[in-house]
Chains A and B, each alone.
Chain A
């Protein structure tokens, strides 16, 4: 069994659309998770099939904090030399 870090990008109908940090897209039945879009998750894979989705709240908070800081830097224009 393989475990990969991922994020729930969005919901489309009956699917949660989840992207691993490596860029692979997984259409996972909504029934497999009650997490919100934007949650960082761990995907448990068997033969490239998702068998379990586990919410990683710590990673979600860390990702939001990291993204917020980068975004604020961008809005301030600090990245333009």
Chain B
């Protein structure tokens, strides 16, 4: 097999797959199934960790189980994208049970008991709190760029769904791989980013804003991001009908190759090594998706053809024949 791979590489048959064999570290993104809420764990190639949101308060054990499953004993950066309970609730239990280096938020306040309990938990654990905004970058791993695209430095007030629209939005770049995490931003912020950061929005993987609500994932935004994969976090049979059918239709119309959903697939685990290809595996539906599909198809076809040639030549890669 080793000889075969060498032969394939030497023959130039695997140019698109070559990055898969590079010795880069692995970036892992786990979209945690917190039912009707959001939570994503990122483990960087240098083993630093980031947790973005934690679902509802009763989902803390789910998040803690995922941390344990992936051997995470410390969260270097915890991001509270915005103060709604379905995003920050589970963070409280995580803070109470795991060492957290720092918390980053959108700088927005809320009056719920959940929000106040989160502040109390941060105070008790003596964790530094920073607010981030457009133009900031997070330095967790020198190989991975984390750009904050939203909210703007001056938080817009009086807009519709203000807390959602001022969500922390982060673009992740690791070599050739890119992903966009959008919190619960809605049409207002999508349009703002489309106008101010259109080029930056382009990403391989889009974590859909607001669980696939019709108030988000507009046509123009989806076309600007032009993702290969869209991941939607939503609870099965949720009261609000997320993801809404019109959003699924818009995603389909935007030419997205794969849509994975926590309500259907369970937790979704993405691994990337900085090359153009990456893999997604799902916990409950046991799907394995290798992207880009074209490159995988080239790999399979190449292996098949070379194997055929070898078999036809009695085990030799090249058949030598003397001229008569």
Residues of A participating in the B interface, judged by any CB pair closer than 8 Å:
7, 9-13, 15, 17, 19-21, 23, 25, 27, 37-40, 60, 63-64, 66-68, 70-71, 73-75, 77, 79-81
Contact = CB atoms under 8 A, between A and B. Distances in A.
A74 B163 contact: no
B128 interface: yes
Contacts of B128: 77, 80
Contact of A64 (B111, B114, B129, B164): B111
Contacts of A27: 239
22 contacts: A7-B112, A7-B113, A9-B110, A9-B112, A10-B85, A11-B161, A12-B239, A13-B213, A13-B241, A15-B240, A17-B85, A19-B85, A19-B112, A23-B57, A37-B163, A63-B116, A67-B109, A67-B111, A68-B109, A71-B109, A71-B119, A81-B126
B117 to A, nearest CB: 9
Contacts of B161: 10-11, 37
Given A10-B84, A80-B128, A74 B111 contact: no
Contacts of B131: 75
B111 A63 contact: yes
Contacts of A73: 123
A77 B122 CA distance: 11
Contacts of B116: 63, 66-67, 70
Given A74-B129, A79-B126, 12 more contacts: A7-B112, A10-B163, A13-B213, A13-B241, A15-B240, A39-B111, A60-B111, A64-B109, A67-B111, A70-B119, A75-B129, A79-B123
A63 B115 CA distance: 11
B120 interface: yes
Nearest to A81: B126
A9 B129 contact: no
A79 B292 CA distance: 48
Interface in B53-102: 56-57, 84-85
Nearest to B117: A23
B115 A67 contact: yes
Contacts of B241: 13
B240 A12 contact: yes
A24 to B, nearest CB: 11
Given A19-B113, A67-B109, A80-B126, A9 B84 contact: yes
Contacts of A11: 161
Contacts of B112: 7, 9, 19
Nearest to B84: A10
A14 to B, nearest CB: 8
Contact of A38 (B56, B111, B114): B111
Nearest to A79: B123
Contacts of B163: 10, 37
CB-CB nearest 10 A-B residue pairs: A63-B111, A7-B112, A79-B123, A12-B240, A74-B129, A21-B113, A70-B119, A80-B126, A9-B85, A7-B111
Contacts of B57: 23
A7 B112 CA distance: 5
B104 to A, nearest CB: 12
B250 to A, nearest CB: 17
